[in-house]
Amino acid sequence: MKFLPSVHLPCHPWMAMVILPLLLLLVPLAAAQWSSCSKSDDYKSNSTYVANLSLLSSTLPKKAASSTTLFATSIMGNFPDIVYALTLCRGDSNASACESRVTTAFQDLLRLCPYKKNAAVYYDPCMLKFSNKNFLATTTVNDPLFIVNTKNFTTNADITQRLLFTLINSMAQLAANSLRRFTTSRLDVGSSPTLYCLMQCMPDLIPHDCESCFQDILNSTLEYLGGKQGGRVLGTRCYMRYEMYPFFQGDPKLRIINLAPHVPTINNTTTPATVYPQSQPPDAAPPPEGKVTVQEHNGPTTRWNGDCC
C-alpha cells in the first residue's frame, strides 16, 4: 500500500463545521437519509426560480441515468434566478434505479426545504444538491455532514485509529483512479473488528483532486469519528461510510488484511464539528468472499477482485 503523501493538512473552509448549524437546518429522514436547507435565500412560489427547478427536476434524473458514471451537473436559467445542480448515484447502483432515486430526491427537497434556494439531500444510494451559488466551480468546498453510530469500539484507541487510517488510506488511490471514482472494501485484521467501507468522489474531479478530498475525509474521520463502530462523512465533492456490517452491493473491491504500522500525526486544529447520530441497524451476515487476487505492497497487505468500478 502506498500511503498518501501527507495528512498534515491545513484547515479547509468546509471543515469549519461549527458554522454549519447557523447556515443550514439539518433534517434527519428515514433510513439514513439527511437533508440540509439554507435559512436564507428564499424564493417565491410563482418565481422564475421555481420554473428553473421544475425544468431541472425533469432533465437531471435522465441525464444522470444516461451517464456511464451515474453523475450529472446542470445550470438552468439566468441571474438572479439561475440554479446550479449536481447529482450522483452510488457506484453500485444501476441506471434505472438512479433515475428513479434522483426524481424522488427533487420531490423530497422541495417538500423538506420549501422555498429555499440552497438545499441538499443524501440517501444511501444517491445525493442531490442545488443552489443559486456556483458551487460547481470549486473542487475544495465540501460542506460535509458527520453522521455516527452511537456505539463505541471496544478495542483501545490506538488500534481503533490504526484501523480507520488503514481502511481509508488504503482505498483512496483505488477509488480516485477508477472510472466512477468509487470503491468498496473489507478490512480483516486478526482479532480486530471486521470493517466494511465505501468511498466515492464526484467523477468530474481529476484523481489528484479526488485524493485531496479523501485526505480531508481521513483527517476528519480520525478527529471526529475515531471511537465509533460506524460513521459517514457526507459531502458534495466526496463522501465515505464505514460500518461493522456489509451495506453495499456485491463483494468488496478491496480486501485489507494488515494494519498500517502507525498513524501519522494529524493536524487537529480544525474548528469543532457538529456530529449527528444514526440508529444502529440489525446485524447482517458478511457477504461471500468471492474470488480475489493478491497484491503485495510495502505496507499493509491488500487484496482486490478484478477491475474496480
Domain 19-137 has CATH 3.30.430.20: yes
pLDDT value for 308: 41
Q: Find the mean pLDDT for residues 2-7.
A: 41
**Residues 65, 104: Cα–Cα separation, whole Å:** 14
pLDDT of 66 higher than 50? yes
**Residues 244, 197: Cα–Cα separation, whole Å:** 9
**Residues 79, 132: Cα–Cα separation, whole Å:** 9
- pTM over the 0.85 mark: no
pLDDT of 106 higher than 60? yes
Determine how many CB atoms are found less than 10 A away from the CB of residue 49. Answer: 23
Contact 84, 75 (CB under 8 A): yes
pLDDT of 279 higher than 50? yes
pLDDT of 170 higher than 70? yes
Instruction: Write out pLDDT tens, residues 123-158.
Output: 989 999 999 999 998 776 567 888 998 899 988 888
Contact 135, 141 (CB under 8 A): yes
pLDDT of 29 higher than 60? no
Domain with CATH 3.30.430.20 in the chain: 19-137, 144-304
pLDDT of 273 higher than 80? no
Instruction: Write out pLDDT tens, residues 152-163.
Output: 998 888 899 999
Question: Cell for 87?
Answer: 447529482
**Residues 259, 44: Cα–Cα separation, whole Å:** 54
pLDDT value for 35: 85
CATH number, domain 144-304, options 3.20.20.80, 3.30.430.20, 3.40.50.150, 3.40.50.1100: 3.30.430.20
**Residues 116, 177: Cα–Cα separation, whole Å:** 36
pLDDT of 16 higher than 50? no
pLDDT value for 241: 96
Q: Residue 268: pLDDT band by 50, 70, 90 thresholds?
A: low
110-114, 192-196, 304-308: range with lowest mean pLDDT: 304-308
pLDDT value for 267: 65
Of residues 33 and 280, the one with the higher pLDDT is 33
Q: Residue 229: pLDDT band by 50, 70, 90 thresholds?
A: very high
Q: Residue 26: pLDDT band by 50, 70, 90 thresholds?
A: very low
pLDDT value for 150: 86
pLDDT value for 272: 57
Contact 35, 58 (CB under 8 A): no
